[in-house]
Amino acid sequence: MTDHDAPDDHSQQTLTGESDDVDPLFAGVDEDGPFGSQLIKNQNLLEVGMVPDEDRIVGRDDEIETFAGYLRPIVANGAPTPVLVYGKTGTGKSLVSQHVSGRARNAAERRGRTIAVAYIDCSQHSTEAQAVCALARDLNSKAGSPERIPLKGLGRSHYYTYVWELLETHFDGAITILDEIDRLQPDDEGNRDNILMQLSRARESGKTTKPIGIVGISNKIDWGEELNQRVRSSLGNEELIFPPYDANQLREIMYAREDAFYDGVLEESVIPRAAALAAREHGDARKAIRILKNAGLIAENRGDEMVRETHLDAAQKRAEADRLTELLSTQTAHAKNVLLALALLTEQNDENEFRTTEVFSVYQEVCEHEGDDPLKLDRVRDLLDEQAFLDITEAYLTGGGRGQGTFKVHRLLKDPEVVRNCVNSTYGQDGEISGF
Ligand SMILES: Nc1ncnc2c1ncn2[C@@H]1O[C@H](COP(=O)(O)OP(=O)(O)OP(=O)(O)O)[C@@H](O)[C@H]1O
Ligand SMILES: [Mg+2]
């Protein structure tokens, strides 16, 4: 008998589960649930990067239908209509574009036609050469070609040549999805849309005989306006706008993934509340799913038997804190003092809107406590404007009643407790501030 299979072999006993000498760090791993989870049965369903199956895509029927209409000709060798997709973050643009393109490819395949769907994230490949290189490499790998296309070292025209050749040799057409297209950098002549030009005119300029579908995605609603007139005329003007989800749609999106959790472990009000929270914050599905997942993880970590609203609130606070910490990391101590002043006013008042002078007065107290020399009122006004620009606060002009003219009021959009924790100051925490 070798040392390896000796009966007291530590690893063997642990693997068969016969020993209770289990490393607690890795305890509870079983084959059914990920990581021996008690509440979450299938965490993949709660990962935001996941492209869900058809029956889990909810609330975008009209957009899917319209989108399919643009792509439909490619199924039968016609030229698809180029389309620019706009909408705020988390409104399903990338998801729907990939979903419908995939269905077009499958429909073509059933007719014996091979269509490539190429997806290029222009935030990762932000020069024209990088974007065409990514396109060529994607087509190359989909063609199963043994040829290696170098990542660097070739000019953009070489990469285009690869694209046209691959199309001619291996495919009956292609759908190119250019995601985050507004992130494309201008070239030396200041053109940011050359790739659109090349793809949209490829057939008429004799580069390829195969139809190419073009899908450009952006969350800047006016991005298309910036396009060069020639590109706009070859692209056409088809635009598809994805509105933010409302609370009902977010609820349905989450219900369609309820089976990520074990039966009966989600308190009934959790999904509706997660939907309401995300609807309030710009109707972002990614955010809704992330809060739901984090609520589940928090409940599990606490060893609770159900996911409840309290876990959701904790998840929401954590998400807000992460975001705010990120935003605050680049701000000055004075900006933080201004925010703390607004947070303290909000916490210790029945109202939630405050005039610049009110914020300024508490800001001065905060500075004194922190040992910082306070800035002048005008600078504080600028700092408040910056906070509004970052969506940390909201500001608007309001009337002060007869003879008083208008003035600006500020409202904190984040949880004041979260702000206090992120700013990391103890001022005002255990009692009333004196500034009002
Ligand atoms: N209609 C939907 N049904 C189901 N899940 C959805 C839906 N819309 C979005 N999601 C989920 O939210 C995630 C984010 O959606 P998507 O990536 O399409 O957003 P986006 O509009 O491209 O946002 P961004 O501008 O930030 O790139 C998706 O991966 C998916 O999990
Ligand atoms: Mg996207």
Residue 140: count other Cβ atoms within 10 Å of its Cβ: 19
The rounded Å distance from CA 89 to ligand 1 centre is 8
| Token pair recorded at residue 90 | 């988390």
| Three-state DSSP class for residue 216 | strand
Residue ranges of domains in the chain, CATH in brackets = 10-49+246-326 (1.10.8.60), 60-242 (3.40.50.300), 331-423 (1.10.10.10)
Closest ligand 1 atom to 180 CA: 27
- pLDDT by position in tens, the chain (length 436): 334 443 444 433 333 334 456 677 766 555 444 445 689 999 999 987 778 888 899 999 999 999 999 999 999 989 999 999 999 989 999 999 999 999 999 999 999 999 999 999 999 999 999 999 999 999 999 999 888 998 988 889 999 999 999 999 999 999 999 999 999 998 888 788 899 999 999 998 999 999 999 999 998 877 777 777 777 777 777 889 999 999 999 999 999 999 999 999 999 999 999 999 889 877 899 989 999 999 999 999 999 999 999 999 999 888 888 888 888 888 889 999 999 999 999 999 988 999 999 999 999 999 999 899 999 999 999 999 999 988 899 998 887 666 677 889 999 988 898 898 888 777 776 666 765 4
The rounded Å distance from CA 96 to ligand 2 centre is 10
Please tell me the predicted confidence (pLDDT) of residue 8: 40
Please tell me the predicted confidence (pLDDT) of residue 174: 97
Within 6 A (CB) of ligand 1 lie 48, 50, 52, 56-60, 87, 89-95, 219, 253, 285-286, 289
Q: Which residue has the tokens 């439909």?
A: 72
> Phi and psi for 177 in degrees, rounded to 5?
-100, 115
Q: Which ligand is the nearest neighbour of the Cα of 58?
A: 1
Please tell me the predicted confidence (pLDDT) of residue 318: 87
* Burial bucket for residue 232 (CB in 10 Å: 0-12, 13-18, 19+): middle
Cα 282 from Cα 287, distance rounded (Å): 9
Q: Which ligand is the nearest neighbour of the Cα of 278?
A: 1
Identity of the amino acid at 366: V
Please tell me the predicted confidence (pLDDT) of residue 28: 56
Ion ligand 2 nearby residues (CB, 5 A): 94
Cα 250 from Cα 254, distance rounded (Å): 6
The rounded Å distance from CA 77 to ligand 2 centre is 28
Comparing C-alpha atoms, which of 425, 409, 404, 254 is closest to residue 344? Answer: 425
The rounded Å distance from CA 87 to ligand 1 centre is 11
* Alpha carbon separation from 96 to 51, 76, 365 (Å, rounded): 9, 21, 51
Helix %, strand %, coil % for the chain, to 5?
50, 10, 40
Identity of the amino acid at 319: A
Cα 241 from Cα 383, distance rounded (Å): 33
Please tell me the predicted confidence (pLDDT) of residue 33: 45
Please tell me the predicted confidence (pLDDT) of residue 27: 62
> Across the strands, what pairs with 178?
120, 216
Among protein residues, the one with the nearest Cα to ligand 1's atom 31 is: 48
The rounded Å distance from CA 417 to ligand 1 centre is 30
Cα 316 from Cα 312, distance rounded (Å): 6
Cβ(183)–Cβ(123) below 8 Å: yes
Please tell me the predicted confidence (pLDDT) of residue 226: 74
Cα 339 from Cα 49, distance rounded (Å): 33
Please tell me the predicted confidence (pLDDT) of residue 434: 65
Comparing C-alpha atoms, which of 226, 181, 223, 216 is closest to residue 70? Answer: 216
Question: Which residue of 57, 286, 287 sits with most ligand 1 atoms within 8 Å of its CB, as the best mutation to test the pocket?
Answer: 286
Question: Which residue of 50, 57, 62, 95 sits with most ligand 1 atoms within 8 Å of its CB, as the best mutation to test the pocket?
Answer: 95
